Amino acid sequence: MGHLRLDTDALISAGADLRLVARELDHATTRSDVVADAVGHDGLAAKVRDFAQGWDGRRAEMLEEIARLADACTGIGENFERLDTEFAAALRGDA
C-alpha cells in the first residue's frame, strides 16, 4: 500500500510567504517612487518611475495568480491536517 506524505506546515508557510510577496508587489509603485526621489537625477528618476508604472497591468495579473496560489497552498495544508485528524479519530473509533 502506498503512503501519502505531505508537509502541511510547509504548505501553510508557503501560503503565508506568497501573501508577503503579493504585498511587496502591490506596493512596488510606492517603493519605486521612494527610489526615484533618492537617485538625485531627474532623468534617472523618470526612468525608474516609467519602469515601475510600465508593468502595472502585468503586475495586477501576477498579484491575482499569487493570491490564488497562496490560497491553494494554505487550503491544501489546512484541509490535509483536518483530514488527518478525522482519519485518526475514525481509526480510534472516535468518529
pLDDT digits (tens, 9 = 90+) for 9-57: 999 999 999 999 999 888 887 888 888 889 889 999 999 888 888 888 8
Which pLDDT belongs to residue 67?
Answer: 95
Residues, the chain: 95
Per-residue cell: 48: 525608474
- Average pLDDT in the 65-80 region? 96
> Which of 32 and 8 is assigned the larger pLDDT?
8
- Give 1's pLDDT tier (boundaries 50, 70, 90): low
Predicted model pTM: 0.74
Please give the Cα distance from 78 to 8 (Å, whole number): 7
